[in-house]
A and B are shown apart, each in its own frame.
Chain A
């Protein structure tokens, strides 16, 4: 099946630092979604990307849909304590709108060092 690999697997940063993580796939995706998951809770949608090359921001978060359609990155600027959590990329295989069976990435765990 399709696999989404995220890197890095984990990050330890200081408050105020910028964060960058990415997601790559061996096959083409037509939609990229970025979710954040806090411990014991469900994934919360952060950003959705629909077009190759698209760059979208949501507050301090910026995500881009790679031109090859096989990758995406997520940046967080000026990190704050509530940014702690696991970040997942996800996407539906193909242009399968209306039946979004999502494949989730392996996740990037973000920890902020006091």
Chain B
């Protein structure tokens, strides 16, 4: 069964460092997303991406965040200068556009 894959599964970084989280969405999907879940809390929307551009972003997704689809298969989230409060699970998701999102297993980011 097709699935969304994410790497790395866990990244530890120093505050102020840049981090890139990678995702391979399901191959025939057109809509891509990043969500975040701080430990013990609910899943929060960060950004949606369609047709090679951001379609919507939340207030969490400030200038420190960026997304890119560098080729036909990868979808990346970059955090330019990490802060302690960026520590969370980051989930990539994709959809065909019919309402159902499929999530990856997540990348745990720990900022020290």
Contact = CB atoms under 8 A, between A and B. Distances in A.
A97 B105 CA distance: 24
Nearest to B10: A40
B106 A100 contact: no
Given A88-B43, A102-B45, A107-B42, A97 B98 contact: yes
Interface in B7-47: 31, 33, 35, 42-45
B68 interface: no
A84 to B, nearest CB: 17
Chain A interface, DSSP helix/strand/loop, else mixed: loop
Chain B interface, DSSP helix/strand/loop, else mixed: strand
Interface in A38-52: 40-45, 48, 50
Interface residues of B, number: 27
A6 B48 CA distance: 25
Given A42-B106, A43-B91, A97 B99 contact: yes
Interface residues of A, number: 26
Nearest to A47: B100
A35 B37 CA distance: 14
B29 to A, nearest CB: 11
Interface of A: 31, 33, 35, 37, 40-45, 48, 50, 88, 90, 92, 97-107
